[in-house]
Every structure is written in C-alpha cells, then in structure tokens.
Amino acid sequence: MIIILLAGMIVCAVACIVLGNLVKAGVAMAATSAILSIVMFILKAPLAAAFELSVCAGLIPVIFMSTISMINVKSKEEIEEMKKERKKRFFLFPVFLIILGAVVLAVMWPHIVDFSSSYIIPAFTRNVRDILWNSRQIDLLGQIIIILAGVFGVIIFFKESVEE
C-alpha cells in the first residue's frame, strides 16, 4: 500500500515539472501534498497530516491559482514555441535523476545505516502539544514572527499595486 502511495507521489512530482500548463502543474502539486498527507497518516503522524492536507493541499494551490489567473494568457504561437523548448529541456532528466540519486545515496548510505541502527529511542509518551508548548517555545515564537513578516510583506505588495 505504502509503496503504491510513494510511487504515486513521485509520479505527481514529475507531472508538476513536466506538464506545460501551469494550472495542471498546480493541481499535480496539490495531489502530491494529498498523497504525502496519506503517508503521514499511515506513519502515525495525524496532526502533521491534517496540517499538510489543509495548508499544502488546500491553501497553497489556491494562492497559486489566484496568481496564475492574474497573469495574462499567451498567444497560441508562443505556447507552441514553449512546448518545443520544454521537450528539449527534459531530454536529460532521466540521466540526471539516476546520476544524482546514485551519488546522494552513495554519500548518505553509511550515515543512514548508522541512524537506523543506533538512533532508535525508546517509545516516547509525550505528545505534540507538550513538545510545542513546553520544549520548543522558541519555535512557536519564530513561527509567529514569520507569519507577521509574511502578512506585512503581502500588505506592502498590495499597497504598491493599488498606488500603480
């Protein structure tokens, strides 16, 4: 089951970059997030899965679609030209995938074996809320600051566009 889900996730990720239409690419990205959230549920991470499903498979594609809808549509000739160019770009994709995958695995493999054999900690009884509120308050503070920074950033962009 989980192997099928991982294969589906990889197929959706490839579709994200190969599909010419940006809307279709956005939908493929949402599908990748949805499959990742199912994998998280299976690996017993329900809270993170709920976040992933609602934010990454829901909110981010909406932001993408709204941005794409504000961008002008290209002419048919331009689209045909882009399609030809895209085919050339992905010619080396399988070769790159195999070479980079082999290099990364060769470099990481000893560390992965170490991690899987020696870093196993006895079952934890603490839950996510306990960790977030008691052990990692600095993370929460950082998250609040990042959200505020994002809100101010978006406000500034919209302010500039209104002035134009």
Partner 1 sequence: MSLLFVIFIISVVLIFAIGIYSLLVTHNLMRILISIEILTKGVTLLLIVAGYISKNMAMAQAYVITVIIIEVVLMAVATGLVLGLFRANGTLDTRKMNR
140-159 residues in contact with partner 1 (CB under 8 A) are 142-143, 146-147, 149-150, 153-154, 157-158
To 10 degrees, what angle do helices 22-42 and 2-18 make?
A: 160
Can you tell me which of 22, 83, 137, 141 binds partner 1, judged by CB under 8 A? 22
Q: Does 70 bind partner 1 (CB under 8 A)?
A: yes
Enumerate long-range contacts of 84-91, CB under 8 Å, 24 or more apart: 86/18, 86/20, 90/17, 90/18
Q: Does 134 bind partner 1 (CB under 8 A)?
A: no
Q: Does 34 bind partner 1 (CB under 8 A)?
A: no
Nearest Cα neighbor of 2 from 30, 55, 44 is 44
What is the CA angle 88-94-98, rounded to 5?
145
Residues touching partner 1, count (CB under 8 A):
78
Q: Does 113 bind partner 1 (CB under 8 A)?
A: yes
Q: Does 4 bind partner 1 (CB under 8 A)?
A: no
Amino acid at 163: E
Q: Does 162 bind partner 1 (CB under 8 A)?
A: no
